[in-house]
């Protein structure tokens, strides 16, 4: 039987996913969204970014968690924009 310390990463990951689902946010793999892209997605929503012509560019993707959240936002809104 596995010890609790061995299960801790799995439990934390599942808790993180559930928290994101409750808040209506996309989740990125734990540890890949280091600056909190949920606030960036809220900014995009608040400022109606999807109504502006053109695609989106992220400069300096580190582990990809933020890019994943933005791409899920575009997907959820059925946007033709691309994240480059």
How is 22-65 classified by DSSP, letter by letter? HHT-----TTS--S-HHHHHHHHHHTTGGGSSS-B--S--SSSH
pTM across the whole model: 0.62
Average pLDDT by consecutive 10-residue portion of the chain (84 residues)?
64 72 71 72 90 89 81 90 92
């Amino acid at each position: 039987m596995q010890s609790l310390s061995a299960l801790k990463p799995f439990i934390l990951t599942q808790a993180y996913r559930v928290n994101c689902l409750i808040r209506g946010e996309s989740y990125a793999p734990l540890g890949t969204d280091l600056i909190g892209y949920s606030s960036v997605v809220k900014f995009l929503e608040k400022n109606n970014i999807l109504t502006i012509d053109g695609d989106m560019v992220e400069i300096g993707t580190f582990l990809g968690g933020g890019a994943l959240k933005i791409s899920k936002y575009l997907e959820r809104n059925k946007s033709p924009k691309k994240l480059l």
